[in-house]
Amino acid sequence: MSRASVVVVGGGISGLAAAWELSGGETGPNESTPRVEVIEASERFGGSLATTNFAGRTIDLGADGFLARRPEAVALVRELGLGEELEAIDSSGAWLWSRGDLHELPKGLVLGVPTDLQAILHFKGLSWKARLAARRDVLSPKRMLIGDDATVGEIVHTKLGRELSYQFIEPMIGGIQAGRIDELSAKSVFPALFDAAKKGGSLMKALRPPSPLNAGTKGDSATSDPVFYSLRGGAGSLPSELATRLQGRGVVLRHGVSVNALRRTPAGDYPWEVDTLTTTTPANAVILATPAPVVGALLGSLDPAIDELRQIESAGAAMVTFAVTDDKISLPPHGTGILVPLKTPWAGEGSMMVTAVTFLDRKWPHLRRDRDVLLRAHVGRSDDSRWLELTDEELTHRVRSELEILLPHFAEPSESLVQRWPLGLPQYVVGHEERVQRARGASAKFSVALAGNAYDGVGIPASIGSGRRAAREVLEMMSHEVRTD
């Protein structure tokens, strides 16, 4: 009997995680492990997870950390034997630019949504009208009917009013997703919010975490656990480490090669042939870890539910990183960064482009240097692509001009770097979960599994989990496969 074969199309972190699971996961390969081949169109593996040298240190060009409470990333790091490379975030808290000044965000936020009324009542970054809207939600909440899905914006502005929604909540949720709360699906992006809204009553009360029955000392509390982790070599070092281990397991890794067709075979041991310009690889099953529209282009002719994936749009974004000597900048006394509401007025033309500023060397000890500050400005949302029209020099100048307002003592940086991600993040609009379920169901009929940040979440842990889930699905398919034509 021929050895089973699986081809993974796409070598981002999801595709690499799928290959890790296919090749045995933590325990490694055995006599039943299939032949695994990963084909990546770009010149390197890892997708938006990447690092570079900047200002005397290694920095991330994409996400610089991952949630600790989601287990997928931490588990993979430990399986690779890199547990000692895990580095906990070294600061907490953030600031909001509002009403012409910086205001420290209060405690008790769940993805930007407040749960502590007293903290909001004392927050001077909001008008009294907005603070009273929060008070009304606790004392006399508005009623709303929630169907199968709703936008985040529909829920929060009905329950908490427009100012709290767009000046306070959207900067965080929209920033994570690079989208607008009036378009993002609560069910897919913020399930806890969706469930809280369905319960009725006060949204703020429904989102409060349950009080512990037996509160221990502060040091023993679960809240003392890290919220985020990175790696000492940067989060972007994970794909290269993973690729090295996969090669050691005999996984075939090909980069700089595009898949131009997936073909069903009428006979033989393998139901699939995966074509590149110069090769054809037979496969029992295929994992597509590409952007969703690419899946639709490759396989959409097989089923309308798969073709519908072409409709998943992505929002692009860019980041401008600066190194500044500490005598030419003055930061807030603590916290990891600043959030900037959309449509914030700017002294120049239009509104500010900067949506957030991250104090990188406050977050991660491995980036800290004497007399040197490292910060990153983020630009771009689903409906703001002004950065695409600017050269790197023009974008750097524009961002610097805005930082001089957000950080009045910001002066001449010693170095700067622009990183662009034109495809950015998939947008989970209303109905996203059902669309994904339909596509996965249709794909499974053809021994194809789907993985990536278009399906199970946009963060690093979700992407890793998506890849490993797809691998388990494929292994299950092959174990029960009875070939019928």
pLDDT tens track for 427-468: 999 999 999 999 999 999 999 999 999 999 999 999 999 999
Q: What are phi and psi of 39, to 5 degrees?
A: -120, 120
> β-strands 101-104, 272-276: how paired?
unpaired
Structure tokens at 262: 């997936």
434 contacts: CB under 8 Å, gap ≥ 6: 148, 149
Residue listed under structure tokens 């329950």? 159
pLDDT value, residue 424: 83
Residue 417 lies in a domain: yes
The helix or strand, by DSSP H or E, that contains position 156, with its residue range, turns out to be helix 152-160
Question: What CATH number should be reported for the domain holding residue 379?
Answer: 3.90.660.20
pLDDT value, residue 211: 61
Rounded CA-CA distance 309/135 in Å is: 42
pLDDT value, residue 348: 72
pLDDT value, residue 290: 97
Rounded CA-CA distance 481/479 in Å is: 6
Are residues 326 and 418 located together in one domain of the fold?
Answer: yes
Are residues 238 and 194 located together in one domain of the fold?
Answer: no
Are residues 318 and 402 located together in one domain of the fold?
Answer: yes
Rounded CA-CA distance 119/434 in Å is: 37
Give burial (CB, 10 Å; 0-12/13-18/19+) of 345. exposed
Domain count, the chain: 3
Taking CA atoms, 75 is separated from 31, 83, 237, 312, 457, in Å, by 24, 9, 16, 29, 17
> What is the domain range of residue 241?
5-49+233-312+429-479
Residue 372 lies in a domain: yes
pLDDT value, residue 30: 92
Cα torsion at 180, 331, 236, 229 (round to 10°)? Answer: -90
Whether the CB-CB separation of 98 and 243 falls below 8 Å is answered with: no
Taking CA atoms, 65 is separated from 38, 236, 403, in Å, by 25, 9, 23
Whether the CB-CB separation of 430 and 149 falls below 8 Å is answered with: yes
Rounded CA-CA distance 469/71 in Å is: 14
Structure tokens at 455: 């399906």
CA 145 to chain centre: 30
Domain boundary among 203, 224, 248: 203
Rounded to two decimals, what is the model's pTM? 0.94
Helix, strand, or coil (residue 381): strand
Whether the CB-CB separation of 402 and 377 falls below 8 Å is answered with: yes
Domain boundary among 160, 184, 203: 203
Parts of the chain with a pLDDT under 70: 1, 211-224, 481-485
Residue 131 lies in a domain: yes
Residue 413 lies in a domain: yes
Are residues 417 and 443 located together in one domain of the fold?
Answer: no
Are residues 319 and 337 located together in one domain of the fold?
Answer: yes
Are residues 417 and 475 located together in one domain of the fold?
Answer: no
Residue 425: Cβ within 10 Å count: 23
Long-range contacts from 220-228, C-beta under 8 angstroms, 24+ separation: 225/68, 225/69, 226/68, 226/88, 226/89, 227/67, 227/68, 227/69, 227/89, 227/92, 228/65, 228/66, 228/67, 228/68, 228/88, 228/89, 228/363
Residue 291 lies in a domain: yes
Are residues 394 and 328 located together in one domain of the fold?
Answer: yes
Question: What CATH number should be reported for the domain holding residue 256?
Answer: 3.50.50.60
Structure tokens at 441: 């169901």
Residue 66 lies in a domain: no
Structure tokens at 250: 């005999």
Are residues 396 and 258 located together in one domain of the fold?
Answer: no
pLDDT value, residue 175: 87
Question: What CATH number should be reported for the domain holding residue 160?
Answer: 1.10.3110.10
